[in-house]
Amino acid sequence: MFEYNFHWRPVFKSLPDLLEASITTLQVASLAMLLGIVIGFILAVSRLRGNGSVYWIATAWVELARNTPALFQLFFFGFGLGALGIHFSPYAIVLAGLTFNTAGYLGENFRGGFEAIPPTQLRAARSLGMNSWQAYTRILIPQVIRIVYYPMTNQFVWVVLMSSLGMLVGYRELTGETQFFASKTYRIFEYFAVTAVIYYVMVKIILGLSKFCASRFFRY
Amino acid sequence: MEQSVTVFSSFSVQDLSFLGEAALRTLWISFLSITIGSVLGGFFGWALYEMKVWGAIFLNPILDVFRSVPLIVQLVLFYNFAPIVGLNLDAFESGLVVLTLYTSALVANVARGGIEAVGKPMRITSRSLGMSYLQDMRYVVFPIGARAIFPSWVGVALGVMKDSALVSVLGYVELVKASQVLITRTQEPLLIILVVGAFYFALSYPVSRYSAKLEKRWSQ
């Protein structure tokens, strides 16, 4: 039917390498996600409670992260900062770019989560004698987590997919590794087809695990 | 007199028009893929809603592929797949096809949500008032559903606009690719990258702010 001969053997030969690279992808994505959650939380609180420069810095971060392409953000950390004499390794570029992006999106999600909780709850907690820390960790945050859980899962999927941009800054995560092998063997279609399947399976596993965890955590 | 040849020349006014042209290409491919993709996605969303079983078995898994494989992998894959089946597509056409399908996969979910947002009693009422199925769709479901999903549709459209930066991988000279070309020549990465970022930001930020404002007004 086709005049093209598919050669799958080189792909299957390098399958262990691809799978290892997919672990790299998951690692960098998880680290970026964890950092993103912490920074995103700080951004959300600074935008809700902060004033003056704290508020503006947090707002600028969120808006820049949400309104420019992730590729631009990666290039900024890669080439842009290079002009100032700050050189990152490919791994650091990917991590910094993904973290910046994720923190911005999560910051907005968390802010929505906090705003969904009636402010009277915080006042009630405080008047029951809790200090600010207790009120946040025992009353507000557990409820916020429940609200932002699914958006967070989606965000993690996005981070995994976004990490494929590492290919363009020379980082050998799954897509970068695929590109490396594909340009060695010229079996571009075959390699990227297998990579697409690996990504698909990874995303399905993440979504499945997230559903499972949700059914455990949020039982009542 | 010794003649000196300069390899790198500095950023000039002509370069701005080069960037401007590239920006127009970004806008053009985004506009086309968002328009066609939204129409297609609306149709898919309707199909997902109306044909529950067939949609769940066939359509949804296919659309799911576009949502769970990185766009960059989709682009490379399709670009290398097209010649295999005898299609002769250049970078723009392949990019357009992939971006359109990607948009339609994202819009399909949104559109289905829009149809679901129109309450069952309302639809039953319109049908019992003697409206045909098409009239019900046109005069009841569309106005209410479109209003409900407008903000998320804007989010998808802006996302596709930003993701169109990835078509640069195929060699289509849109904004990001043009910036790469200029950076190689002028060796002034920071300036050029900031100009590019500012363009995306100037396009995306007002639109997202406006849609957030509309959302707030409509929800009252």
Confidence of residue A44 (pLDDT cuts 50, 70, 90): very high
Total domain count, chain A: 1
The whole-angstrom distance between B27's CA and the closest CA on chain A is 14
DSSP state of B82: T
The whole-angstrom distance between A216's CA and the closest CA on chain B is 25
**Whether the Cβ atoms of residue B73 and residue A195 lie closer than 8 Å to each other:** yes
List the one residue out of A148, A160, A43, A171 whose CA is nearest residue A98. A160
Residue with the bigger pLDDT between B70 and A186: it is B70
| Cβ <8 Å between A196 and B74 | yes
- Any domain includes B54: yes
Q: What was the pLDDT predicted at A218?
A: 81
Mean pLDDT of A144-161: 93
List the one residue out of B162, B20, B71, B159 whose CA is nearest residue A168. B71
Q: What was the pLDDT predicted at A219?
A: 73
Q: Distance between the two ends of chain A, CA-based, in angstroms?
A: 56
In degrees and rounded to multiples of 5, residue A197 shows phi and psi of: -65, -40
Residues B135-178 have pLDDT tens digits of 999 999 999 998 889 999 999 999 999 999 999 999 899 899 99
User: B62 lies in which domain range?
Assistant: 13-219
**Alpha carbons B64 and B209: distance in angstroms, whole number:** 29
Which residue matches tokens 């598919």? Answer: A6
The whole-angstrom distance between B43's CA and the closest CA on chain A is 24
Q: Is the dihedral of CA A100, A175, B101, B66 positive or negative?
A: negative
Q: Is the pLDDT of residue A137 over 80?
A: yes
List the one residue out of A136, A139, A123 whose CA is nearest residue A42. A136
Residues B6-22 have pLDDT tens digits of 666 777 778 888 889 99
- Any domain includes B178: yes
Total domain count, chain B: 1
Q: What was the pLDDT predicted at A12?
A: 87
Residues B22-48 have pLDDT tens digits of 999 999 999 999 999 999 999 999 999
Question: In this prediction, what percent of chain A has a pLDDT beyond 90?
Answer: 66
- Any domain includes B3: no
- Any domain includes B205: yes
Residues B119-132 have pLDDT tens digits of 889 999 999 999 99
Q: What was the pLDDT predicted at B128?
A: 93
Mean pLDDT of B72-87: 90
Residues A96-132 have pLDDT tens digits of 999 999 999 999 999 999 999 998 998 999 999 999 8
Mean pLDDT of B188-196: 88
Q: What was the pLDDT predicted at A63?
A: 94
Question: Could you give the ipTM of this predicted complex?
Answer: 0.89
Chain A residues closer than 8 Å to B64 by CB:
200
Closest-CA residue of B relative to A182 is B76
User: A20 lies in which domain range?
Assistant: 9-217
pTM, 2 dp: 0.90
- Any domain includes A1: no
Mean pLDDT of A47-51: 86
How many Cβ atoms sit within 10 Å of the Cβ of residue B121? Answer: 8
**Alpha carbons B148 and B150: distance in angstroms, whole number:** 6
- Any domain includes A176: yes
- Token pair, residue A19, equals 């799978």
Which pairs from A4-12 meet CB under 8 Å and 24+ separation? A4/B83, A4/B84, A6/A189, A6/A190, A7/A185, A7/A187, A7/A190, A8/A190, A10/A181, A10/A185, A10/A187, A10/A190, A11/A181, A11/A187, A11/A190, A11/A191, A11/A194
CATH number, position A203: 1.10.3720.10
CATH number, position B184: 1.10.3720.10
CA–CA–CA angle B64, B90, A191 (5° rounding): 50
Confidence of residue B93 (pLDDT cuts 50, 70, 90): very high
Cα separations in angstroms, B179 against A66, B17, B161, B197: 21, 12, 17, 10
- Identify the burial level of B216 via C-beta atoms within 10 angstroms of its C-beta, where 0-12 means exposed, 13-18 middle and 19 or more buried: exposed
Q: Is the pLDDT of residue B51 over 90?
A: no
**Rounded to the nearest 10 degrees, how much is the dihedral formed by the CA atoms of B61, B65, B67, B69?**
160
In degrees and rounded to multiples of 5, residue B127 shows phi and psi of: -70, -40
List the one residue out of A211, A33, A55, A208 whose CA is nearest residue A106. A33
- Any domain includes A4: no
Q: Is the pLDDT of residue A220 over 90?
A: no
What residue type is assigned to position A149 of the chain? Y
Mean pLDDT of chain B, nearest integer = 90
Interface test with A, best of B8, B67, B80 (most A CBs within 10 A): B80
- Any domain includes B191: yes
- Any domain includes A105: yes
Confidence of residue B3 (pLDDT cuts 50, 70, 90): low
- Any domain includes B145: yes
Which residues of B make CB contacts under 8 Å with A? 64-65, 68-74, 76-77, 80-81, 83-85, 158, 162-163, 165-166, 168-169, 176, 179, 183, 188-190, 193-194, 196-197, 200-201, 204-205, 208
Touching check for A162 and chain B: CB below 8 Å?
yes
DSSP state of A81: G
**Whether the Cβ atoms of residue A144 and residue B42 lie closer than 8 Å to each other:** no
Closest-CA residue of A relative to B191 is A80
- Token pair, residue A45, equals 């609180």
Mean pLDDT of A68-95: 88
From the centroid of its chain, how far is CA B63? 15
